[in-house]
Structure 1
Amino acid sequence: MTSEIDIEVWVPDLRFPGWMDRWHQQAAEFSRLHPEYKVTVTGLDFFTFPQYVTEQAALGNKPAVAEYYFYASHVARDTVDADGKPLFVSISEAVGERTEFLGEPSVLHDLHPAFRDYYTLNGDLDSLPSVGTTSLLYGNRELLDRAGVDGLPETWAEVDEACRKVAALTDGPSHAITWSNHGTFVQQAMAAQGGYFVNNRNGRDGRATTIDLVSKEMTAWVEWWNRLHKDGHFLYTGKIPDWAGTMEAYRDQRVAIRISSSNDVNYMAHAAKIGGFTMDVGIMPYNDEVPYVGNAVAGTSMWLVDGLDEATKEGALAFLMWMHNPTNAAQRHKDNSFVPITKSSYDLLQDEGWFDAHPYHSITYDHVIEYPPQVTGRTGYPPSEGALFGDFAGAQDIMVHAMGDVLARGADPFDRFVKATQDAQKLLDDYNEWVSTTARGPVPNSSHGVEYWTDVEPYTAQDLENVVPLNS
């Protein structure tokens, strides 16, 4: 009897309820469908995952496939094996003109352009997007109606007006709006204004060497956010990032609006149900004083290790295509509110009546990662080529702590972000020096980014019901 061919898949444990259970179920199901293969998925620490893969690769230990969080994409590109060669091969190169693997159809042609483009560099799709998110605005319909706010605000000026109306309520919430102090919203604000974090077109035209956290786009965002806070409209819990506290405030109707990730849709719907009000969902507001470019995307992607023997490579690619088939991609959306990563999975959900029964789930695909025609006057998808640079996580850590000093301690926004730029530049310089070293040691500054992720784990429905309100 022929031995099974092992396919090792390493993934960061995102710690969503049942996250690793689903991975193990998928591995078992694929192995059942293709009994000549045995897929084993190993969940590793989210914070240290890139560091671990880099260290193991230098020792000659490597999986067939590894999943990276989007801001670690540059680390994946720069990781080398024990011979000093790039650890990963691009998905587009590995697939070539093939249309199926072990009978599993290729999905490359079916990927939503916003996610395909994010992981494409110099015309090469380096990795296969697996989880997709963006940012949304969630409203309390009853509170907004009482305040006389029609619809949901879509611009910063409309948010200002909505906040003033909510504040005028005699028995209204303590604040009008909140969101977590997290780097994803900084990214969205920059992207919507067409701003870049780093030089060389956000690291897309060449390796980034300088970072700027006092650009006009960043300054506009920081000043607007700080003004909302100083005017008493923005609820800052004082914690970084505090996904929990801002969700509690929405649930307990201490705010009328919360901005959060699109993968929060299920949790937010449950929060509204507990709070006894109607949830509205819309786009993340943009700066109406400059042209609106469109939202950025985030998520994870799957990277294929180079140099696999042909049988292992065939099985690994078949597994990647299978896990992205319409049924599996649609189920991933249902479980965790992630954006349907392919057009076929979206069509399946639509044909099943999923969006008719859950209309707030369609907003991301229809009106965010697609251009909102009512806003831009054009159709298509936004340029979602996010920033690529070393120690992105560490830079985000620096940004959010700088904003925390502005909001909680009254630091001067410009001076504080000048200091943040200097600190982030040091991280970037250290990273680029690491890349230029022939005999690379551990990825530098690997501990950065951990502190502000400390409550990344989301709620289960039961957890959400048992959360103690902040004001108790």
Structure 2
Amino acid sequence: MKKKVTLIIVAALVVFGLIPGIASRTAYSQDAPVEITFVHIFSDERDVRLETIQQIAANFMAEHPNVTVNLESNTDSYASIFEGALRAAEQGTGPDVVQIEDTLRQIAIDSQYFVKIGDYASEEQLATIPDIITPMRNYYNLDDEIWGLPWNASNPVMYYNPAMFEAAGLDPNTPPQTFDEITAACDAIMSAGIETLEGCINWPITSWLPEQWLSMQNALFINNDNGHSARATEALIDSPEMLRIMTWWKDLADKGYFVYSGSTEAYTSEGLLFISGKTAIHLSTSAGISNVLNYSQTLGGFDPGIAPLPKPDADATNGITPGGGSVWVMAGHSDAQTQAAVDFAFYLTSTENDMAWHKASGYFPIRQSSIDALTAEGWFDENPAYRIPLDQLLASEPDTANAGSVLGSAAQVRGAVVDGILSIIDGGQDPAEAMIAAKQRADQAIADYNSVIGD
């Protein structure tokens, strides 16, 4: 699906032309009714994160009685949400607020189907931007221009089953921290005769984790300073640092230590493998901390351990990139709707709601005021696992590697990486050959996109 999104956007830019937003702040009447729609990925009625969004929207409407906020979500796919928003915008029926994955930022800007939130924000709202923690401001370039506001921010962590560690003679209080330590732990776990195991470790088949391990090694994903100094023209996915990752991954797969659900991008399915006792270690997003803690206890019958994402080696200390999504406001609506949408975006990401969102999910707080309040009330002392992804991010000294990549064709480039991964772990292809082929596909995708967009 992610490959398809890029093609749809590029085609739309060619066929339908550009739809620029006109920036001006217009206060909407407190009496005239205004209706806006917020489209997001949290579609499961059992998900506590959906309940939190519903409560935040209800509180906003209570404070703005003339504004109705409609919540829409029928998929947990960022790509489908984005594609649907674009198609609706082409028909003049686009939603007002859209949750957008971080990798779709550049293509959202290039599409010009979105307005700059900063151009509609009040001075009071703009004054809250410095409160957003530095890594998130840098990642979304908020000190220069404000397109979207960061919201559901996450990074990868390691979940593990302490009982299985003990059964294998491992100390659950000292979980593995490097690739070699993961392999050694899996040697012990797979030799322990644990009946439920299908493998030692699993994680979603995505480009996201390799990108984190590149960042830890101070290596880039794409050229031109990860796309920050100029549009990228080349994917750097055949680098020695990437080959190190893929070689280790293949070794785990060849030994039967790494298993996966059979589908790519399958965060929920991979989580269920771990929760059901099929693996002892699971690498995934911190966004699932609340759900993993809950369902490991209620469905799996164990209390999981949570630790930082293991590094390629002890010297790979350059840190990780932010992940997750942000909220954007679509063009093509009345001034009153646009203003209400901007106000809702700031409300959604306010200190109080940032704290509630963090507690309900595992997404780390994006505001320093939130962190200070959570610390003062003892939240992190009582729930230390929730502090792990935040500490991982704050320990990253900002540079071009951990600032993440800016790439209009990110979906296709990441798709090429995934194809390369599958050829390695399922097809047995040599990692170097697989990543050279993946690079060729990725570079072609970048060239095709740039030829349409221009400089």
Q: Do these two structures clear the TM 0.5 threshold for a shared fold by scoring above it? A: yes
Q: Quote the residue 2:386 is aligned against.
A: 361
- Cα offset, 1:264, TM superposition: 1.6
Q: What amino acid sits opposite 1:221 in the alignment?
A: I
Hey, what does 1:146 align to over in structure 2?
A: 167
Residue 8 of structure 1 aligns to a residue in which SS?
strand
| 1:236–1:407 CA contact under 8 A, matched in 2 | no
Deviation string 1:133-187 (CA, Å, 9 cap, x unpaired) is: 1000011112223333331111112212222232342557453222121222122
Task: Trace 1:40-439 onto structure 2 (pairs within 5 A).
Answer: 40-43=70-73, 46-57=78-89, 64-80=96-112, 87-89=114-116, 91=118, 94-95=120-121, 98-100=123-125, 106-120=127-141, 123-150=144-171, 151-171=174-194, 173-273=197-297, 274-288=299-313, 290-304=315-329, 314-365=339-390, 367-371=391-395, 384-436=402-454
Unaligned runs of 5+ in 2: 1-28
Match of 2:79, SS state, is coil
Give the one of 55, 58, 64 matched to 1:34. Answer: 64
Quickly say closer, same or farther: Cα 1:62–1:134, change in 2 above 3 A.
same
TM-score by length of 1: 0.78
What is the alpha-carbon distance in structure 1 between the residues aligned to residue 117 and residue 241 of structure 2? 33
Cα distance change of structure 1 residues 77 and 168 upon mapping to structure 2, 3 Å threshold: same
**8 Å CA contact 1:7, 1:316 repeated in 2:** no
The one-letter code of the counterpart of 2:234 is T
Q: Deviations over 1:58-84 (max 9, x none)?
A: 565555543311111011110125xxx
Q: Secondary structure at the match of 1:267?
A: helix
The 1:117–1:251 alpha-carbon spacing in structure 2 relative to 1, beyond 3 Å, is same
CA contact (8 A) 1:395 1:424 kept: yes
Q: State the identity %.
A: 24
Deviation sequence 1:220-244 (CA, Å, 0-9, x none) = 1111111122233222444324434
**Distance in 2 between the 1:129 and 1:177 partners?**
31
Which residue identity does 1:178 align to in structure 2? N
SS class of match (1:362): helix
Most deviating of 19-28 and 110-119: 19-28
Q: Aligned pair in 2 of structure 1 residues 225, 170: CA closer, same or farther (>3 Å)?
A: same
Distance in structure 2 (CA, Å) of the matches to 1:255 and 1:147: 13
Which residue of structure 2 lines up, in the alignment, with residue 8 of structure 1? 36
Greater Cα offset, 400-409 or 49-58:
49-58
Whole-Å Cα distance in 1 between the matches of residues 266 and 316 of structure 2? 31
Task: Tell me the distance in 2 between the aligned counterparts of 1:244 and 1:123.
Answer: 36
C-alpha distance after superposition, 1:274-330 (max 9, x if no partner): 333331111111112754211211111122457987765554443222222222112
CA drift of 1:387 comes to: 0.8
Q: CA RMSD in A?
A: 3.1
Cα deviation, residue 37, structure 1 = 3.7
Tell me the amino acid that sits aligned with residue 239 of structure 1.
Answer: S
Q: Is the 8 A contact 2:160 2:282 kept in 1?
A: yes
**Equivalent residue runs for 1:12-27 within 5 Å:** 12-17=40-45, 22-27=52-57
Where does the alignment leave 5 or more consecutive residues of structure 1 unmatched? 82-86, 372-378, 438-472
1:452 is matched with which residue? Answer: none
What SS class does the counterpart of residue 47 from structure 1 fall into? helix
* TM-score under structure 2 length normalisation: 0.81
Code of the aligned partner of 2:287: N
Return the alpha-carbon distance in structure 2 between the equivalents of residues 242 and 34 of structure 1.
Answer: 38
- Higher mean Cα deviation, 174-183 or 299-308? 299-308
Deviations 1:175-230 (A, max 9, x none): 32221212221221222122222111111111112223211221111111111222
Matches within 5 A, 1:431-470: 431-436=449-454
1:463 equivalent in structure 2:
none
Distance 1:171 1:33, change over 3 A: closer
Give the Å deviation of 1:262: 0.4
Partner amino acid for 1:321?
F
Deviation at 1:26, TM superposition (A): 3.3
Change (3 A) 1:212 1:16: farther
- Shift in CA distance, 25/250, structure 1 to aligned 2, threshold 3 Å: closer
The 8 Å contact of residues 339 and 364 in structure 1, kept in 2 or not, is answered as yes
Q: Contact 1:110/1:343 (CA < 8 Å) preserved in 2?
A: yes
Change over 3 Å in CA distance of 1:320–1:248 after alignment to 2: closer
Structure 2 CA distance, aligned partners of 1:262 and 1:402? 25
